[in-house]
Structure 1
Amino acid sequence: MSIFRFPLLVWLGIGILIICLGIRQSFGIFMMPVSEFFGTGREFFSFAIALQNLLFGVFQPFVGMAADRFGAKRVVIGGSIAYGLGLYLTSIATEPSVLLFSLGALVGLGLSATSYVIILGAVAKVVPAEHAAKAFGLTTAAGSFGMFAVIPGAQYLLSDFGWQQAMMVFAALCSVMAAFGLFMNTAAKPDGQNQTTPVPEQTLKQALSEAFHHKGYWLIHAGFFVCGFHVMFIATHLPSYLADKHLPASSAAMALAYVGIFNIFGSYFWGVMGDRFNKRHVMCALYMMRTAVIGAFVMLPVTVDTAAIFGAAIGFCWLGTVPLTSGLVRQIFGARYLSTLYGLVFFTHQVGSFLGAWAGGRLYDITGSYDAIWYATVVLAFIAGILHLPINDKPIERNQLAVV
């Protein structure tokens, strides 16, 4: 199936992800103006963003269950409202404590209802299984594209109008996500799916029990935990690591820019590979690539050039795990409760993200160096690759399923 023949819902999902994740990726440039406005220093704003990410993960399984029960349309619309309200309340806040509720809790809830888990769950219901990973890769790439589509505009608004007005514009953009959500119809069956063969009904309780008793599901959790650990450690601590090596600040900005650029291509590439080859083997190859890339970066001299090459190489396998992980969950358990089951896996990813950011700083404070945590990321990448090999990825047969 050509990408141009994907159902309308896929393109609506891509539009939602560009806005949702584009706004989210821009929050870093608000740190200084917001901190200066409230006179709190940078730690308070950082804590609000950390709370946002933690709640993003905590809300995700429950929002996923709601999407599986009531449909993605209602969840996306509700999430867009929460997202927009959080941004608007942030723009008119006069006390910094408001940000914990607005930018932290409300935006965290909005993100969980408008980002990967919900969109991929909806896409899985309208795209044939043999093309799911490709579709997942394309929608995942949209998140990185959003970084380049939204951040320049955010910088312009900050410079010419101020951070409050920029937040208001972002809040208005959330209405576009809600409008896209109105047209997200998941009732149609994917092309080629037999609509006359009766499919045994399965309850959410049965789906959870089935997944929890499947060894492969927990191995998928473990792999995605490592992904979260890698992504947040590198995103949080790479600039400081390069500064410790006496590189200019521009080198860190360039490396992170390359991460975003090459992630666009990498996400789609790994998704296509997941359709053509065994997803377990492709996932193993991705983590082995991470092992080699991070290992080489740690052992070779750190220069402006190696930092840029590292950004491009790690970016190529940055979020390629998303279409493969969600694709594995869909392949094994089906599309019916994908938002719930993948939402739980995503929560594990966020736990890894939290620990990656925290452990990096903690070990640095103890040892005065990032070396230990870098080598730990190499070992974790290798282990994650091996963990995917024994996963039983055969679709579960439910012909004899008893309806409860």
Structure 2
Amino acid sequence: MTQRAPSLSMVQVLIFGSLMVTLSMGIRHGFGLFNMPITSANGWGRETFALAIALQNLIWGFAQPVAGALADRYGPFKIMILGGFLYAVGLIGMALTNDPWLFHLAGGLSIGIGLAATTYSVVYGILGRNVSAEKRVWAMGVTAAAGSFGQFLMMPLEQGLITSFGANEALIYLGLMASLMIPIAFCLRETGFAPNQAGDQTIRQALNEAIGNRNFRFLMMGYFVCGFQVVFITVHLAPYLKDMALQYPDINGASVATTALALIGLFNVIGTYYAGVLGARYPKRFLLSAIYLSRSFAIAIFLLLPLSSISTYVFAAVMGVLWLSTIPLTNAIVAQIFGVKYLTMLSGVVFFSHQLGSFCGAYFGGYLYDLTGSYQIVWGIAMALGVFAGLINLPIREEPLQRPASA
């Protein structure tokens, strides 16, 4: 089986793919900082803001397989251009409305589609076609680490914009920043792109093959948990710390939350990079299992110890190492089992499960808080799900799928 020669160098893919992911993932990482300023200014409950972020993640998940299939068929360039435009429009739209439905349309629908077209699945498809198989998981780890560094950079920047200009103007500035993804897309344009014609498997056949494969289903279940945990913490850690500041004077909700989320991004650089390094040497299913179980353990210790700024920073650093380290490992398993012909689409399908979890983590965090006045139930759910994900990844088989010669 022969593959088309790469049209982009590995260095070019890594630099500009990393910049794309840095912007798309970095900007969204700070949405939790806008929770209380926007809800307070508009007289909303936390559920309203949480629903917008939950819809964003759900739409991102729904749109990702579609964006992936279109990118596999027609090339990712046009998909990324559209994504950068919708991302910028969504951010500016969030700033210009105080109507909940329009806010959900901008922050949920527009940004959700924008994220589907500019994040890991699309970038990993480019990477899979232009980086050799032996360096693929490492390169995925490098790209994920870049997205993590973007989170670290964007947290203090977004908090600084909010402090200096207010939440609405900060969103407008972020919208202008998001528009930079459009010129970056030109740097990732693959010359002479044509769909890989190795074999005669169609998109429908590839999708049915993956859904019918138990390893793929196990990956989807584990990825659901990943989405629940990271988005719950991203959206609700800041308001949780502000609530706890009444009981623990050492906690200054806004500054501690900003530093904690920045630390998650910083230590995530380490976690995602070494996930790629270790994934090239050891069974990726064991690494995934260890990540999920370690998250549950870290949450339990965080809740059991007396809350302080130090305990929060240690928790953030530990969670940062475990944060997005699932991404290169999960996508590398997909590529290893099913090949790279439909990698963008299949990565999008498994990512859809991640976003179902993200929706639940964002929305039920706000819903259960408004219902009970506490986040304790959701923390407990996050821990239980981590144990489940740790166990469900263990039986995954990573061997390449053997297809009949006609397929």
How high is the TM-score relative to the length of structure 1? 0.85
Deviation of residue 219 (structure 1)? 0.3
The aligned residue for residue 223 of structure 2 is 224
Match of 1:180 in 2: 184
**Equivalent pair of 1:200/1:398 in contact (CA under 8 Å):** no
Q: Check conservation: 2:334, 2:347, Cα contact below 8 A.
A: yes
> Is residue 205 of structure 2 the alignment partner of residue 206 of structure 1?
yes
Alignment partner of 1:400: what SS? coil
Return 158-167 or 126-135, whichever deviates more: 158-167
In the alignment, what sits opposite 2:392?
Answer: 387
SS of the residue aligned with 2:180?
A: helix
Stretch deviating more after TM superposition (126-135 or 265-274): 126-135
Would the aligned equivalents of 2:219 and 2:330 in 1 still touch at CA under 8 Å? yes
Which amino acid in structure 1 is aligned with residue 149 of structure 2? F
* Cα distance in 2 for residues equivalent to 1:361 and 1:346: 23
Q: 1:308 aligns with which of 293, 304, 313?
A: 313
Q: Does 1:281 align with 2:286?
A: yes
Give how far 1:383 is off.
2.4
Q: SS at 1:390's partner residue?
A: coil
In structure 2, the residue matched to 1:53 is: 57
Which deviates the most, 349-358 or 375-384? 375-384
Task: Assess, with a 3 A threshold, how the Cα gap between structure 1 residues 272 and 372 changes in structure 2: closer, same or farther.
Answer: same
How far apart are the structure 1 equivalents of 2:308 and 2:39? 32
Gaps of 5+ in 2: 1-8
Distance 2:227 2:341 in 1: 25
SS of the aligned residue for 2:403 comes to: coil
DSSP 3-state at the match of 1:125: helix
Query: How many angstroms does 1:169 deviate by?
Result: 3.5
Q: Which amino acid aligns with 1:353?
A: S
For residue 188 of structure 1, report the CA deviation from its aligned partner: 8.9
| Equivalent residue runs for 1:2-401 within 5 Å | 6-31=10-35, 34=38, 44-93=48-97, 97-161=101-165, 165-186=169-190, 199-239=198-238, 241-242=240-241, 243-244=243-244, 246-247=247-248, 248=251, 249=253, 250-360=255-365, 370-398=375-403, 400-401=405-406
SS in 2 for 1:276: coil
Distance 2:208 2:235 in 1: 36
The farther-off stretch of 266-275 and 82-91 is 82-91
Q: Distance in 1 between matches of 2:51 and 2:282?
A: 42
**Structure 2 residue matching 1:393: 3-state secondary structure:** coil
Amino acid at match of 1:202: Q
Task: Please tell me the residue identity of whatever aligns with 1:334.
Answer: G
Q: Please tell me the residue identity of whatever aligns with 1:75.
A: I
- SS of match in other structure, 2:199: coil
SS in 1 for 2:66: helix
- Determine which structure has greater relative contact order: mean sequence separation of CA pairs < 8 Å that are 6+ residues apart, divided by chain length: 2
* Contact in 2 for aligned 1:204/1:337 (Cα 8 Å): yes
Q: Indicate the SS of the match to 1:285.
A: helix
RMSD (CA atoms)? 3.0
Kept after mapping to 1: 8 A contact 2:46/2:366: no
Distance between the aligned counterparts of 1:357 and 1:318, measured in 2? 16
Contact 1:147 1:260 in 2 (8 A): yes
Contact kept, 8 Å, 1:225 with 1:348, in 2: the verdict is yes
CA distance in 2, matches of 1:298, 1:19: 32
Aligned equivalents of 2:282, 2:192: Cα separation in 1: 27
Report the Cα offset of residue 284 of structure 1: 1.9
Please give the per-residue CA displacement for 1:304-334, whole angstroms capped at 9, x wherever unaligned. 4332222111211011111111111111111
**TM-score normalised to the size of structure 2?**
0.84
1:335-356 CA-to-partner distances (Å, cap 9, x unmatched) read: 1111211111111111112222
Amino acid at match of 1:325: T
